[in-house]
Amino acid sequence: MQWVGTAEMASAVSNAGGLGMLTALTQPTPEALFKEIQRCRSMTDKPFGVNITILPAIIPPPYEDYVSAILDSGVKAVETAGNNPSKHTSRIKEVAPSTVIIHKCTTIRHALSAQKTKSIDFLSIDGLECAGHPGEDDVGGLVLLALAARKLQIPYIASGGIGDGRGLAAALALGAEGVNMGTRFMATQEAPIHMNVKNQIVNSKEVDTIHLFRTLRNTARFYKNSIAMEALEIERKSGSQFSDIQHLVSGKRGRKVFDEGDLEAGVWTAGQVVGLIDDIPTCEELLRSMVADAIEIIDGRMHKMIV
């Protein structure tokens, strides 16, 4: 949700009954994040949180300063992802013990390791289907969520490949306490991205995404446009380095896609769930329909199957 997790998006999700999340690194500085949190508070009186994703970078962002901005703002829910966040989550718990911390994992071994960290309250189990970084093991959500139910002692939510009531019902059946959605919220009325992107998602199939950075052990899923395919071709060449594709995958070019609607301006993340998205509702319409459909599946169809 880089460039998407702004106050407009997070407040709309929270106002609709979900838990909206600001993406910390969408903001250029920790000071800008603090202001964005205040702006979000002016747009909703419901709870919302902040995501901070810790990934390898040529020039790493000042993560500790972003955490300071989160703490200074008094946000009560934080989602972490990427590299081991224990240094930051321990600090958050020490300063603000009541903060609920959710950590995203793409493997059971990482989930079990995170579970041992006393500063983490919830896990988000992220399957291969997801946008962004799915890890390197290529295990889908159906297996990951079932394993999580067997092996974890702390609660978890399901991430990746979920965009309707069927996915919500399935996640609950597999043991999750709820679901986490990114791409599905991009195709809503309130999402702060160009309508061209939303329409492209609606018109896409489940095969219209690809993985980049696999050879760099930092796999990420992107929409299959000409820029992503060019980057993939270069990456597959023996001896290629990140510097060989850096000009194609820069965040500045990706932001241009969302701001100006030029779908070929750069790479942009999207999950396989694009194949399930066929409309652009408001966040409230989306969540109401998902919950209603999940109830119908659980209390209707599945209940009738019990003899």
Whether 288 contacts 165, CB under 8 Å: no
The pLDDT assigned to 11 comes to 98
Q: From first to last of the 307 residues of the chain, give the pLDDT tens digit.
A: 999 999 999 999 999 999 999 999 999 999 999 999 999 999 999 999 999 999 877 788 999 999 999 999 999 999 999 888 999 999 999 999 999 999 999 999 999 999 998 899 999 999 999 999 999 999 999 999 999 999 999 999 999 999 999 999 999 999 999 999 999 999 999 999 999 999 999 999 999 999 999 998 889 999 999 999 999 999 998 888 999 999 999 989 999 999 999 999 999 999 999 999 999 999 999 999 999 999 999 999 988 898 8
Q: What is the DSSP letter of 174?
A: T
The pLDDT assigned to 52 comes to 96
E-assigned strand segments in the chain = 20-23, 48-54, 77-82, 100-105, 122-126, 156-159, 179-180, 209-212, 220-223
When the pLDDT of each residue in the chain is averaged and rounded to a whole number, the result is 95
What percent of the chain clears pLDDT 70, i.e. is strictly above it? 100
The pLDDT assigned to 91 comes to 96
Q: For residues 133 and 75, what is the distance between their CA atoms, to the nearest angstrom?
A: 25
**Amino acid, res. 209:** T
Burial class (CB in 10 A: 0-12, 13-18, 19+), 21: buried
The owner of tokens 């679901």 is 179
The pLDDT assigned to 117 comes to 87
Work out the angle at residue 230's Cα, subtended by the Cα atoms of residues 227 and 234, and round it to the nearest 5 degrees.
140
Q: For residues 202 and 238, what is the distance between their CA atoms, to the nearest angstrom?
A: 36
The pLDDT assigned to 58 comes to 77
The pLDDT assigned to 26 comes to 95
| Structural domains in the chain, sorted by start | 7-190+279-304 (3.20.20.70), 209-260 (no CATH)
